[in-house]
Amino acid sequence: MKTVYVGMSGGVDSSVAAALLQRAGYRVVGVYMKNWTQDVAGVACPWRQDLADARAAAAVLDIPFQVFDFQAEYKQHVVDVMVAEYQAGRTPNPDVLCNQEIKFKLFWQAAKAAGTDLIATGHYARTVDGRLLAAADTAKDQTYFLYRVSAEALRDTLFPLGELTKPEVRRLAAKFGLPTATKPDSQGICFVGEVGIKEFLRQYVQAEPGPVVEATGATIGQHDGAIFYTIGQRHGLGIGGGRPFYVTGKDMATNTVYVTDDPADLERAGDHFTLEQLHWINEPPVAGQPYQVRARYRAALIDARLRPVGDRWYVQLSRPERALSPGQSAVILQDGQTLGGGIISSF
């Protein structure tokens, strides 16, 4: 009988993943990853409730349960990196960082050291022989967040929800009598809770007001810190006059946010970019072959051609993508398989 350590976050997905593996004949051990325990901006971190819910689900399943404490590593490899990227004017993805550094690195390594054969999570994804494939439920597919996981970790990973839809998971949770069956899905920053990115960043940076400038060069308002704004953002600009404005760029050196009232400006010159900090799960792409690109979670796939340029890759899209932003992840796919990707660096 093979042993599987299941990352149980206290949500319905990971609880059902553990239940399915138990019923499939594995020896299942539930593990809660204690990554973050600090309250932020008056918002309570949900870790105590999440831990209690994970422990309660494990008790219903009558499986062993452990807590792995990764708080120091999460702070160093996820939070500190995320804050530094925002300070540099880029837009990082903490879920990608968490999967890369915590769930499929530290957890995987710690579980293997403890003697497990495999690990598992409640992600909506599929893996075959170290290759990452989309989940059957395309609306819930989470492979975008997993593109920086290694093939070695994927070979030791099970995704029990890969063939299921979210409603099916909810029904199974109720059928199994799991206490998480009706628990709402978590929102916000990975493991931190339902706190906005602006409120989170304020705990670590001091921001100053600065000008909001439109395409004509006219200053039309004042923002409360360029670090808090992302390309394509519409709300929270504090600009009156009735016209909707969108962020098109920002200059961290001058603390300036640039905006437009023409949504088409977000797509102009957005049909190409370069990728850095590349990660290929298996083999890298072949220059000139057709691929598909997803530039943000749940964004539509866009046909593209790629070619290496030094230690980066140049990506030419078949059509413009809206609101591309330095620092965000772009994922490369072919025939439903996620090959890997990188960080958008320039246009």
Cα within 13 Å of Cα(255), Cβ side? 11
CB 223 within 8 A of CB 238: yes
Pick the catalytic residue: 16, 19, 98, 195?
Answer: 98
Q: How far apart are the first and last CA of the chain?
A: 52
C-alpha span between 62 and 173 (Å, rounded): 15
- What's the distance, CA 81 to chain centroid? 14
d(C-alpha 256, C-alpha 226), whole Å? 6
45 is an active site residue:
no
- C-alpha radius of gyration, the chain, whole number: 21
What's the CA dihedral at 324, 330, 332, 333 to 10 degrees? -80
Q: 48-58 as b/e, with b when 16 or more CB fall inside 10 Å?
A: eebbebbbbbb
Which residue in the list 97, 111, 190, 237 is annotated as catalytic?
190
Q: Which residues are catalytic?
A: 98, 190
